[in-house]
Amino acid sequence: MRGARAIVHGAVSILNAIPTWIGGAIGVDLWTEAEALISDEPGRIEAEIPGGEDPRLVIETARTVLQKAGRSDIGLRVRTRSNIPIGRGLKSSSAASDAVALAVARLLGLDCDGDEVVRLAVEASIRAGVTITGAYDDAYTCFFGGINITDNASKKVLLRKMAPEDVMVLIAVPERKIYTGSVDVEKLRAVKDVCLKAAKLALQEKFWDAMIVNGLAIASALDLDPSPILDAVRAGALAAGVSGTGPAIAAITRPGRAESVRNALRDYGDILVCGVNNSEAGWEALE
């Protein structure tokens, strides 16, 4: 095997984990793909990322897996591509670190299951400085799909459910970017009590109520306009909220209300329309 290719899907937030360390997300069918190839330069990791984004996360993820495998004798070339907008709170970093970790682990024949791949991806994300809590909720959901509520401090899954297949996800994607590492953590922790209420709703499987409460709290903390959340709900969305630290707004809707929700969100950014994802990450050998 000369290389390995992995594909991981995206996610949007139900709960932002920064205020309480309890996070939650629902898988969506956006995707990130990573290819890992062995190079002729031991110890060197080359990263090719479309759009000129910082390669630090990809390199750090590949290095973390190499260290886990004890393989300082080889180098790697890693390429990624994705349809997940970067820097909008749509889990692009978690999907990328998952995909790179899976591709490199399988290329090296590392004996680890999906849970270990996720833990390696989270460790690399912390090392690369692209996350505050480790984003275990995001990394786990991107890898395994479905709806997941997690304790990010202990890296434990508190609740896991398959996402309902009879809903659509509409995402308003503004032009500006917000990178998680630049966010004022104290502002987010000021809404801890409200976010704890959202977490309790989520653990009672009232996911849509939790998403709305969390979304309004995060919007308030980060001085984001809450209007798209409220407008989407008025238009018939089951739920809407800030995804991650924004600025993207995600709405969950029945197909019959999708056009009304799209119209409610269209002034807030480009609209992505996607389905939920319940599928685990996959990979293939490159011969």
Per the CB < 8 A criterion, the answer to whether 207 and 26 are in contact is yes
Q: Distance between CA atoms of 145 and 8, rounded to whole angstroms?
A: 9
What's the maximum distance between 2 C-alpha atoms anywhere in the chain? Answer: 58
Alpha helix ranges (H) inside the chain: 56-69, 92-107, 114-128, 136-144, 185-189, 192-203, 207-221, 227-234, 258-265
Please give the angle made by the CA atoms of 145, 244 and 102, to the nearest 5 degrees. Answer: 40
Residues forming a β-bridge with 273:
170
Q: Which pLDDT score is estimated for 147?
A: 98
Residue 264, CA atoms < 13 Å, CB-side half-sphere: 25
Task: Compute the Cα dihedral for 105, 160, 124, 49 and give only its sign.
Answer: positive
- Selection from 92, 36, 39 nearest residue 65 by Cα: 36
- pLDDT of the chain, 287 residues: tens digit per residue: 789 999 999 999 999 999 999 999 999 999 999 999 999 888 899 999 877 778 999 999 999 999 999 998 899 999 999 999 988 889 999 999 999 999 999 999 999 999 999 999 999 999 988 888 789 999 999 999 999 999 999 999 999 999 999 999 999 999 887 776 667 889 999 999 999 999 999 999 999 999 999 999 999 999 999 999 999 999 999 999 999 988 999 999 999 999 999 999 999 999 999 999 999 999 999 98
Q: Distance between CA atoms of 192 and 27, rounded to whole angstroms?
A: 24
Q: Which pLDDT score is estimated for 30?
A: 97
List C-alpha distances in Å: 34 to 78, 148, 213.
Answer: 7, 24, 35
Where do we find the tokens 């949007």?
12
Q: Distance between CA atoms of 239 and 220, rounded to whole angstroms?
A: 17
Q: Distance between CA atoms of 224 and 60, rounded to whole angstroms?
A: 31
Q: Distance between CA atoms of 281 and 175, rounded to whole angstroms?
A: 29
Q: Which pLDDT score is estimated for 138?
A: 97
Q: Distance between CA atoms of 247 and 50, rounded to whole angstroms?
A: 21
Q: Distance between CA atoms of 196 and 51, rounded to whole angstroms?
A: 37
Q: Which pLDDT score is estimated for 175?
A: 84
How do strand 249-253 and strand 168-173 relate by DSSP bridges? Answer: antiparallel
Please give the angle made by the CA atoms of 171, 9 and 132, to the nearest 5 degrees. Answer: 75
Per the CB < 8 A criterion, the answer to whether 120 and 64 are in contact is yes
Q: Which two tokens stand for residue 238?
A: 């089951």
Domains along the sequence of the chain with CATH: 3-162 (3.30.230.10), 168-274 (3.30.70.890)
Per the CB < 8 A criterion, the answer to whether 51 and 165 are in contact is no
Q: Which two tokens stand for residue 116?
A: 């270990």
Q: Which pLDDT score is estimated for 182?
A: 65
Per the CB < 8 A criterion, the answer to whether 46 and 89 are in contact is no
